Every structure is written in C-alpha cells, then in structure tokens.
Chain A
Amino acid sequence: MSTFLGMPATAPRGVGHLRGDQTFPRAAHDALGNSQLRRNLRHATTTIRGKSGKVIAELPDWQELRDAGSAIKADVMARLPELLEELEARVTEAGGVVHWAADANEANEIVTRLVRETGSSRVIKVKSMATQEIGLNEALEEAGITPVETDLAELIVQLGDDKPSHILVPAIHRNRSEIREIFLRAMPGVDPALTDDPPVLAAAARRYLRETFLSTEVAVSGANFAIAATGTLGVVESEGNGRMCLTLPDTLITVMGIEKVLPTWRDLEVFLQLLPRASTGERMNPYTTMWTGVTPGDGPQNFHLVLLDNGRSAVLADTAGRQALHCIRCSACLNVCPVYERTGGHSYGSVYPGPIGAVLSPQLTGVADNASLPYASSLCGACFDACPVKIDIPSLLVHLRNQVPHPPAERAAMAAAAYTMARPRLYANAQRAAKLARIAGRRGRGLPPPFSGWTAGRDLPEFPSQTFRDWWAER
C-alpha cells in the first residue's frame, strides 16, 4: 500500500522522543554500570512476569485469544483508510471534532491552538504514549501552557525532570527513596515531613492531584482503542486518574495514533481480555472509560480527536514491517526481554523501549536514524511468545537488520565469509588457515576489535587438532 494521506514518509527530526542521542551499545554501557537501576529493573520485571504468567494460565483459550487479536489487527491494517474515515464520520456525528495530524509538529500545533482557544494555561494529562512520542509537553510549555501528568509514575518522571523508561511503568527505574526526594524537591505544597513509605508517598500525590483535577478545565488524553462503527474512544487504566481527566474538564483533547482503531464494539472483547493479563497481570483493568462525542450536561462539552500519523503510514507501507503497528502497548515484551532487564528503557533512546521499541522506533524514524536498535536483541524469541497479539518481533528485527546501512568493514567481512562458504574447497582451506593463524599468532592474547568484546569476558575455545570433515575423510 502506498501512503494514503499525502503523509511524510517518517517522523520528523528535532521534535518528539523517537531518537536517542547515542547508539544502543553506548547507552547500555552506562545502564549496565548502574547497579541500583539493574536491581530495580530485575525486581520489577520478575514480579510482573510472575503475576502475568499466573493470570494468563487461568485462561484455557489464551492462544485462541492471541490468534483473534492478531487477526483483528491484520484486518484493521488491511483497511485502515476506510476505518479511519468511518471513525471520523461517527465522531463528528456525535458532536466531536476530528483533526488529522501528519506528524509531531502538526499534532503539537493543533493541540496548542485548541488549548489556547479555551483560554486555559494549564492542562491535565492521562498517561499517553502518543503525546510522549511527539513531545507534546515540551511544545505546550514553550507556548506558556503547563501540562500536569496525573498518572502516578508519569508524575514522578515529570517532577524528576526525567524520561520514562517503560511503557507501562514509566518510573520502573526509580525506587521509593528516590521518589521521596523527587516529591520533596518538586511537588507543589508537599509536606516536608514526607517519608518513603509507599502509602505516604501515594497520599501526597493524591492530595496534589485532587486539587489539580478540580481546578483544571482542559485535559489531554491518549486512547487505547477507538471504535469505527460508533465513534467511541476508550482508555483503560489502573489508578482512576484517567477517569478524572476524561470526565471532569470542559474540554477533552485526545491524541491517538491512527493504528488504534478497531472496527466494532465486539472486537473490544478480545483486547479487554488480552491487554490487562499481558500487561499488569490483572484479570481486568480497574478502570475502563469509554466516551462517544459529547453529551449535553454530562462530561466534557468539547471533544477533539487528533489522529496522528508521524511515520505510521510509512510503516504500513511495508507489508512485513507493518505488524509492529499491531502493538497494543501492553509491555509484555519488555518484561520478558533479557536485554531490557539489564539495560533499562533509556538505552533505547525512544519512548518505545524494549523489543517492540527496537522494531517500532526505527520504522517510524527510518532505520538509518535508529540503526543500532534492530541489533539490541539476542533474537532469543521470548518477546514473540509473550506478545498477546503475536507480533513476530524476532523476524521483524531480522527484516530491519537487512535494511540497516552496514559499516563497510563488516560488509566486506560478511561478503568474504559468504564467498568462502559458498565454495567447499576454499572453506576447508580457510578452516586450516584460521587454525594456523590462531596457533601461530594470537593464542592466549585475545582478539582484535571488533571481536575484543568477546575475549574481554570469555575464553576462546582451543582449535581442535582436526576438523570434522578431515576426520570423516580419514575414516
């Protein structure tokens, strides 16, 4: 499929959070040296893995549910333009206003203008990956508008002037004493006698947020789902802050990636089972808020839906790569990934960390801008098994590696190896030559770069006295 809305091929540079300022191995080096971070991550991912595994095991039809989720998403991608137009028509009929944003810049301009038109200088936000992706908070602040994150972990990240490091648990890299320090430093009106007891910390956040909810007239949200047939939007969450944002203000502005649309209400049934079990390890998420346009006298009286592309059309155009758009942001792949567990979310440089980030970010930005991410995996496959909509992340990683601009030296080495291995006689000679070179030159001395990383932590095997094929020939 070609791009269908005259959209740009990839997300623009200089805005939003899809590109890191260093490569994955470089960023991972810093994370690996942070033992506190590694302990926090190991504890958190192990706990979530255990919880999730337990509630998934309760469902005898989990595999069928995954198949259903995967099939619905494949159908959505196959007829995305049609479903989005249907969604636009239904939202408009219900009293909402639909805006189309080609990229992060357009989306930020639209939201900033809409907030300005309300005369408000503060917005409350429910946790949203899409608005993080486009750097909306920074754009609002530049326009003199204060965004207040109301998800507890997101608030911790915002007050700490930090970046989120996990899709579901953005402050996973922080422990409670770090959170106490952040609150004391940055939370308006906080009790100076604050302790690091979790209920005390939660109560402090609650007091601050309650006041903010009741005195702010504009909210910005993301959306977990949108139903094309009825124009209904939906957000699922655990804290109740989302419901406050979605029901209390006069104006609600929802920023949604175009891939989030579902055809009908019936399709929701599948995802409302898959998402909480795969992500938080709950049978059902505590709060599910659905709204359709505006209802006079009840809830927000102005509703705007911003449909965000920002590279998604380009992902859709790649028939192999487009399954990354099936992602429902559950973070199951992060929680099982041995690489994520040790390097943390910041190493991925994008708001989308972990295995799904390693395939989604390079596709949204163009692989050249995130060339180290497809290699940030040992291809162990745990993410594929954990994904509730069966995204074949290992195959996608391999697919993207094939598009990455390769370093010339590596390309030459790979070509030489392939040339040799395609010729058995040459190959047998090379086996003998390698053995001789090793014995004559480098035994016990490790290897030169780029192989020195190997010998830094591991011994090389001894070359055997005879290859298998020589043994076979002599039998």
Chain B
Amino acid sequence: MRIALFATCLADTLFPEAAKATVLLLERLGHEVVFPAEQTCCGQMHVNTGYQAAALPLVKRYASVFDPYDVIVAPSGSCVGSIRHQHSMVAAAYGDAGLAARAADVGSRTYELSELLVDVLGVEDVGAYFPHRVTYHPTCHSLRMTRVGDKPLRLLRQVRGLDLVELPAAEQCCGFGGTFAIKNAETSTAMLADKMTNIVSTGADVCTAGDASCLMHIGGGLSRLRTGVRTVHLAEILASTEFTS
C-alpha cells in the first residue's frame, strides 16, 4: 500500500526518530511510504490556544498537501485527533464550506499509527524485538479524541522480548496539554509528579506512548529527577528488530 506520512512538526524537528521509525516499520511490512515535503504543522497549538483564524492557513495546507493520498499516517494520536475533529470546524468557522468538506474528507483518511496497523493493514504482530520492561501511557488525545482503544497494547503484546507492565492510573492526564504546560506550569508539574510516581512504581525501564508531545513532557520530568526511566515512542519500539536492538 502507498501511505503518505504526516511527520508532525514536533517529531520532524525534535523527535525525528519517531517519524523515521514509522517509515522503516511500514517499509519493513512491505508498504511504500511517501513524504510530501510541503507539509508543516496541523495547527493544533493555534486552535487549542485560541487562535483559530491563525490556524486556518495550516488547515488549508494540510488538506491540499494530503488530498491526493488515500491513506495518511501520523505517529501522533493528538495531531490525528485535531485533524479529524478540529480542521473542518475551523474551516467552517473561518473558511468556506468547500474547505470544511475537504478537510473532513482528508481527516477521515488520516490514521494514527496503531490504527493504521491494526484497522487498515490488519497486522498486530509487526515482527518487532525489544527486550525491555515497558509501561504504556495511553495519552489523553489518543484515548479520548482519536479513540485508539487498546490497539497500541495489542501491538506491544506481540513484541518479542518485551515485558509489558501495567501503569497505575494510566488514563490520568500527564499534565502536558500543549500550552497548558506553560500557562499553568505549576498545575502541570503537579500532574506530572503523580504520573512519574506511577511510572517509577512499575519498575519499567521504558515508558512508551503514541505521542511525542506527552513523551517530551514525561521524559523531561523523568530526566530531571534522574529516575533512570527513559521514554521511547511506540513507533520506535515497533520498528525495533533483533538486528537494530
């Protein structure tokens, strides 16, 4: 299958390993990945901070850049959630009805990585090998906006060598929330502290999730506290093999 990659601005700039892993994983499974170079950002930061008018050109750009592709994937439940639920809303409010319809259509062809693998490609065992004790944080937007359900866990359970341990209070927010972590930094830090306590309590050496943003926040906290637990994007675990590990 020919699959267009939306790398997301965060993975492109700060966490390229997550986007690279998505490419290598899909190619290993026998698919063709294309990267439309005109892509930039989904605009979620603007929409969620209250700048819908400023997000409009980004919505327009996403819809036009990805319109030619039948299947689009992004290694981010949050960006996919925004593309699916917010793009047509912003377009309807500030653009024209035509753009809103196109945005909704392109959004319906955009999948989060675990959805693409399980729902579209019909694969749960991706042939990965990752010999570590891992706990999974089901990021809020993957869970409640994109509704990926237990697909990431189903994929992780098939990874050879991986010891999956349950995260207590897994469904509680880590406190990132985009600009929330800046506007309400102290509350965000208090939420992060509880998330880190729960992660450390599992004895895992790796915490994974489907969103680079939440992992940046959690990873930044774990690193500051010298916990020894590192964060790894779900795509990187699924892309690992005995050869790469």
Contacts of A404 in B (CB 8 A): 50
Nearest Cβ distance between residue B2 and chain A, in whole angstroms? 16
A:380-429 near B, CB below 8 Å: 380-382, 384-385, 395, 398, 400-404, 406, 410-411, 414-415, 417-418, 421-424, 427
Contacts of A473 in B (CB 8 A): 37
B45 and chain A: residue at smallest CB distance: A417
Interface of A is mostly: helix
Bound complex: CA A381 to CA B142 (Å): 11
Contacts of A322 in B (CB 8 A): none
Contacts A418-B54, A456-B185 known; A338 to B175 CB distance under 8 Å? yes
| A466 within 8 Å of B (CB atoms) | yes
| A225 within 8 Å of B (CB atoms) | no
Mask of B48-87 contacts with A, CB within 8 angstroms, 1/0: 1111101101100100000000000000000000000110
Question: A464, B184: Cβ atoms under 8 Å?
Answer: no
| B16 within 8 Å of A (CB atoms) | yes
| A32 within 8 Å of B (CB atoms) | yes
Question: B16, A378: Cβ atoms under 8 Å?
Answer: no
Nearest Cβ distance between residue B14 and chain A, in whole angstroms? 5
B65 and chain A: residue at smallest CB distance: A424
Contacts of B43 in A (CB 8 A): 418, 421
| A450 within 8 Å of B (CB atoms) | yes
Bound complex: CA A395 to CA B88 (Å): 13
Bound complex: CA A343 to CA B173 (Å): 15
Bound complex: CA A411 to CA B53 (Å): 11
B:176-197 near A, CB below 8 Å: 176-192
B:1-41 near A, CB below 8 Å: 7, 9, 11-17, 19-20, 23, 35, 37-41
Nearest Cβ distance between residue A377 and chain B, in whole angstroms? 7
Question: B49, A414: Cβ atoms under 8 Å?
Answer: yes
Of A377, A380, A454, A459, the residue contacting B182 (CB under 8 A) is A454
Question: A379, B16: Cβ atoms under 8 Å?
Answer: no
Contacts A457-B185, A461-B14, A468-B7 known; A380 to B51 CB distance under 8 Å? no
Contacts A402-B52, A461-B14, A467-B13 known; A450 to B191 CB distance under 8 Å? no
| A453 within 8 Å of B (CB atoms) | yes
Contacts of B217 in A (CB 8 A): 458
A26 and chain B: residue at smallest CB distance: B186
Bound complex: CA A471 to CA B13 (Å): 11
Contacts of A266 in B (CB 8 A): none
| B137 within 8 Å of A (CB atoms) | no
Contacts A402-B50, A418-B58, A469-B35 known; A457 to B189 CB distance under 8 Å? yes
B18 and chain A: residue at smallest CB distance: A468
Question: A25, B15: Cβ atoms under 8 Å?
Answer: no
Bound complex: CA A468 to CA B7 (Å): 8
Of B9, B54, B223, the residue contacting A414 (CB under 8 A) is B54
Question: B221, A28: Cβ atoms under 8 Å?
Answer: no
Question: B37, A401: Cβ atoms under 8 Å?
Answer: no
Bound complex: CA A339 to CA B185 (Å): 12
Contacts A375-B183, A404-B50, A468-B12 known; A422 to B57 CB distance under 8 Å? yes
| A4 within 8 Å of B (CB atoms) | no
A46 and chain B: residue at smallest CB distance: B169
Bound complex: CA A472 to CA B27 (Å): 14
Contacts of A382 in B (CB 8 A): 140, 144, 171-173
Question: A29, B186: Cβ atoms under 8 Å?
Answer: yes
Contacts A382-B171, A472-B35 known; A377 to B177 CB distance under 8 Å? yes
Mask of B159-180 contacts with A, CB within 8 angstroms, 1/0: 0000000000001110111111
Question: A379, B177: Cβ atoms under 8 Å?
Answer: yes
Residue of A28, A403, A427 contacting most chain B CB atoms (<10 Å):
A427
Question: A459, B48: Cβ atoms under 8 Å?
Answer: no
Contacts of B182 in A (CB 8 A): 450-451, 453-454
| B153 within 8 Å of A (CB atoms) | no
Question: A380, B13: Cβ atoms under 8 Å?
Answer: no
A466 and chain B: residue at smallest CB distance: B16
| B152 within 8 Å of A (CB atoms) | no
Question: A464, B15: Cβ atoms under 8 Å?
Answer: yes
Contacts of A415 in B (CB 8 A): 51, 54
Bound complex: CA A377 to CA B49 (Å): 11
Question: B144, A385: Cβ atoms under 8 Å?
Answer: yes
Of B13, B175, B180, the residue contacting A434 (CB under 8 A) is B13
Bound complex: CA A457 to CA B89 (Å): 35
Contacts of A338 in B (CB 8 A): 172-173, 175, 191
B:190-245 near A, CB below 8 Å: 190-192, 216-217, 219-221, 223-224
| B151 within 8 Å of A (CB atoms) | no
Question: A384, B144: Cβ atoms under 8 Å?
Answer: yes
| A295 within 8 Å of B (CB atoms) | no
Nearest Cβ distance between residue A455 and chain B, in whole angstroms? 8
Contacts of A339 in B (CB 8 A): 184, 187, 191
| B47 within 8 Å of A (CB atoms) | yes
Contacts of A28 in B (CB 8 A): 184, 186-187
Question: B46, A417: Cβ atoms under 8 Å?
Answer: yes
A452 and chain B: residue at smallest CB distance: B185
Contacts of B144 in A (CB 8 A): 380-382, 384-385
| Interface CB pairs A-B, < 8 A, 28 | A32-B190, A339-B187, A342-B191, A376-B184, A377-B177, A378-B140, A378-B188, A379-B180, A380-B172, A381-B141, A385-B144, A398-B48, A401-B50, A403-B50, A410-B49, A414-B49, A414-B51, A415-B54, A422-B58, A422-B61, A423-B40, A424-B40, A453-B181, A454-B181, A457-B220, A461-B15, A463-B14, A464-B14
A interface with B by C-beta (< 8 Å): 24-25, 28-29, 32, 338-339, 342-343, 374-382, 384-385, 395, 398, 400-404, 406, 410-411, 414-415, 417-418, 421-424, 427, 431, 434, 450-451, 453-454, 456-461, 463-464, 466-469, 471-473
4 new A-B pairs (CB below 8 Å) besides A338-B175, A406-B50?
A25-B184, A384-B144, A459-B221, A468-B12
- The 10 A-B residue pairs whose C-beta atoms are closest, nearest first, are A453-B185, A378-B177, A458-B220, A401-B50, A381-B144, A380-B173, A380-B140, A468-B16, A418-B54, A457-B189
